[in-house]
Structure 1
Amino acid sequence: MHDINALKELLKEPKEVMITTHHKPDADALGSSLGLAGYLKKKGHRVTVITPSDYPNFLSWMSGNNDVIVYSESNDALVHRIIQESQVIFCLDFSALSRINEMGEYIRQAKGTKVLIDHHLEPENFADLDYSNSSAAATAELVYDLIKDMGEADMIDTSIGECLYAGIMTDTGSFRHPSTSKNVHLIIADLLHIGVNTSNIHRLIYDSSSELRLRFLGYALKDKLVVRHEYNTAYIAISADDLKAYDSKTGDTEGLVNFALSIEGIVFAAVIIDRVQAVKISFRSVGDFSVNEFSRKHFNGGGHRNAAGGMSLESLDATVAKFESLLPQYKDQLVKPVN
């Protein structure tokens, strides 16, 4: 991690700044990006936030959302020009440029100073300044600490605080994951002090489901849940036809993997979804079983020890068969007592 003085020097005068985050941004990705954007705008910088793809509608309440440029829905030449003209490029909540699709090569070749703020394991070495910390609960936590270390915590107002709170709340599983540290609680105390309405943010994110989404969840749990008790494993496989039948929108499958993991005795859970271009997989675990290592080794992915993502270019059926075939190799790890 670079010294904070390097960032102070970089930002001491107003600059053209771009902020981006990973494909299909979640609350931490978007919240940390918009929170940082709000802070930098207060300092006089000209800031553009660009996401590689769309994101769930239940995040659209965040301050600054209306100014976000969605690359997949925008003009390629416009985005390329913004990247080329940016003097500083912040890369938030992803550890490799492949996570931002076509934008990755644009940013790799950009002349602007690249700043990485992330909490995933094994970051790619592409940034000029790296403020990664894999022990952090969320990238939003790192953004808060960065602003504080800059000596400007007083610039965090309610709007910025709401964005950062959303990222921390969701990435800690509403503060139940082991990553929920003393520092996390101290940050939340500070955000409460400045007037962040935590219960309202929880409602906006978790209590905004459409009727179809609830019916989809019921279908997935009733008809698609597979439990392999001999491996303490549960998974749900969703086809493209399933998504179409329930008019699935971005964000509708978010959190589905946690239902599988919530079954008593389950150590390892996965949701495997046919997204047509590729099969996308979410992995979760409890205890010492590393889904980061599992995903990196077998499914071109990675993340954290207990939460990771992966992908497969095979069919949904072939991907499920591969997943099942791997379980016997890990039986000793999966059936031992959870720490």
Structure 2
Amino acid sequence: MNPHEVNTVRALLAEPQQAVIIPHKNPDGDAMGSCLGLYHFLTKLGHNARVVAPNDYPKFLKWMPGNNSVLIYEKQHTEAQALLDKATLVFTLDFNELGRVGPQMEAALKQVTAPMVMIDHHQAPASYAKVTYSDTSMSSTCEMVYRFIESIGSTSIIGEDIANCLYAGIVTDTGSFKFPSTSSDTHRIAAELIDKGARNAEIHNKIFDTNTANRLHLLGCALKNMVIREEMNTAYITLSQEELDMYQYKKGDTEGFVNYGLTLDGIKFAVIFIENREEGIIKISFRSVGEFSVNEFARNYFNGGGHKNAAGGRSERSMEETITYFESLLEKHKMELTS
């Protein structure tokens, strides 16, 4: 954060605030970890803070301290809207464009008169916030929240609850510290969080080692469906609504499936297409290694975006039409994918 941003936030927090903290729709570990970490921090400073998530999130994230206080806008609309109506300060975390909360909550946020503070590490931030703390070089929004706490106060205030939440977000968004965005500073912050009470082994177990038989069978189905285009250095997976239903899909069950394509020797570009019949879309996750920007690919063709090597998007075509379109795009980008 630059000095002006730091001074602005300090001024905002100089008086008790009714703060609402918001993650993106379908929040992941970084979104919930950063929101709950900030929630505990603001509460320690004497502010009345609450996390309002647009919709529900996976069970393997619900162990985080403070989870029981989270409101789900989709399910608890009246109570959540009342908090937004009386908010004096709003934090938006792990997203940088209001459309990422879904149309219903986006409309509500556009009516909010309270100043907003954005903390996010994705590319191309919008300009809706009074304070925009954006840094695409950071591994995660949780790493940024640590820096935020460091900038406006002191990390001495970080206790076990904050440490566990922030560590959880860092470990998920770095792929257990293997993604290129993981820096030496990321490791130093993770070490500091462990020193302050983060139970690293327990966190890994709760996030990554809580599979159900149905999830493992769904993974088997996904891997069986994988198409490998060696001549394009590309692998992609499809999962239909029927296949999801067959294995009693629950939110979060496909987390990480897209990364399996990148474990294949020579593959630079991995994609998963997941049908969501209720919303009438194909949800898409993109991953890459090297210089191929999936952020640009998702923005240009699939109404999405994210990071250079990890992004998301959507298609309103059928699965068959989406795959046909995607295959045509591979031909268009063949030189980038094969060079």
TM-score range, shorter chain: over 0.9
State the alpha-carbon separation in 2 of the partners of residues 261 and 275 from structure 1. Answer: 24
The residue number in structure 1 matching 2:114 is: 112
State the alpha-carbon separation in 1 of the partners of residues 160 and 192 from structure 2. Answer: 11
User: What is the TM-score normalised by the length of structure 2?
Assistant: 0.97
Describe the SS at the equivalent of 1:61. coil
Q: Residue 78 of structure 1: CA displacement?
A: 2.8
State the alpha-carbon separation in 1 of the partners of residues 300 and 245 from structure 2. Answer: 31
4+ residue runs over 2 A deviation: 77-81
Q: Residue 23 of structure 1: CA displacement?
A: 0.7
Instruction: Deviation per CA, 1:275-334: give whole Å up to 9, x if none.
Output: 111111000000000000000000000000000000011111111111111101111111
State the alpha-carbon separation in 1 of the partners of residues 113 and 333 from structure 2. Answer: 45
Instruction: Deviation per CA, 1:211-264: give whole Å up to 9, x if none.
Output: 110111012112x10000110000001111111110000000010000111111
State the alpha-carbon separation in 2 of the partners of residues 108 and 183 from structure 1. Answer: 36
Equivalences, count: 334
Please tell me the residue identity of whatever aligns with 1:307: A
Instruction: Deviation per CA, 1:42-100: give whole Å up to 9, x if none.
Output: 1111111111111010011100001111112123x332221121000000001110100
State the alpha-carbon separation in 2 of the partners of residues 136 and 179 from structure 1. Answer: 7
Describe the SS at the equivalent of 2:237. strand
Please tell me the residue identity of whatever aligns with 1:173: G
User: What is the TM-score normalised by the length of structure 1?
Assistant: 0.97
State the alpha-carbon separation in 2 of the partners of residues 324 and 209 from structure 1. Answer: 32
The residue number in structure 1 matching 2:191 is: 189
The residue number in structure 2 matching 1:308 is: 311
Comparing 106-115 with 204-213, greater Cα deviation is found at 106-115
Q: Residue 126 of structure 1: CA displacement?
A: 0.7
The residue number in structure 1 matching 2:287 is: 284
The residue number in structure 1 matching 2:53 is: 51
> Would the aligned equivalents of 2:73 and 2:81 in 1 still touch at CA under 8 Å?
no
Please tell me the residue identity of whatever aligns with 1:64: G
Describe the SS at the equivalent of 1:126. coil
State the alpha-carbon separation in 1 of the partners of residues 269 and 166 from structure 2. Answer: 29
State the alpha-carbon separation in 2 of the partners of residues 167 and 317 from structure 1. Answer: 35
State the alpha-carbon separation in 1 of the partners of residues 212 and 59 from structure 2. Answer: 11
State the alpha-carbon separation in 2 of the partners of residues 284 and 248 from structure 1. Answer: 22
Provide the alpha-carbon RMSD of the alignment. Answer: 1.0
State the alpha-carbon separation in 1 of the partners of residues 107 and 143 from structure 2. Answer: 28
Query: Is 1:79 the equivalent of 2:70?
Result: no
Please tell me the residue identity of whatever aligns with 1:31: G
Describe the SS at the equivalent of 1:115. strand
Once the two structures are superposed, the pairs formed by residues 140-289 of structure 1 within 5 Å of their partners are 140-222=142-224, 224-276=225-277, 277=279, 278-289=281-292
> Would the aligned equivalents of 1:108 and 1:126 in 2 still touch at CA under 8 Å?
no
State the alpha-carbon separation in 2 of the partners of residues 280 and 236 from structure 1. Answer: 12
> Would the aligned equivalents of 2:237 and 2:273 in 1 still touch at CA under 8 Å?
yes
Q: Residue 269 of structure 1: CA displacement?
A: 0.6
State the alpha-carbon separation in 2 of the partners of residues 137 and 324 from structure 1. Answer: 31
The residue number in structure 2 matching 1:319 is: 322
State the alpha-carbon separation in 2 of the partners of residues 305 and 327 from structure 1. Answer: 17
Q: Could you list the runs of 5+ residues in structure 1 that have no partner in the other structure?
A: none
Instruction: Deviation per CA, 1:6-44: give whole Å up to 9, x if none.
Output: 101100121100000111110000000000000000111
State the alpha-carbon separation in 2 of the partners of residues 52 and 111 from structure 1. Answer: 19
Instruction: Deviation per CA, 1:172-222: give whole Å up to 9, x if none.
Output: 111111111121111012112112111110010000011110111012112
Query: Is 1:30 the equivalent of 2:15?
Result: no
State the alpha-carbon separation in 1 of the partners of residues 247 and 76 from structure 2. Answer: 27
Q: Could you list the runs of 5+ residues in structure 2 that have no partner in the other structure?
A: none
Once the two structures are superposed, the pairs formed by residues 80-95 of structure 1 within 5 Å of their partners are 80-95=81-96
Comparing 35-44 with 148-157, greater Cα deviation is found at 148-157
The residue number in structure 1 matching 2:336 is: 333
> Would the aligned equivalents of 1:161 and 1:191 in 2 still touch at CA under 8 Å?
yes
Please tell me the residue identity of whatever aligns with 1:100: V
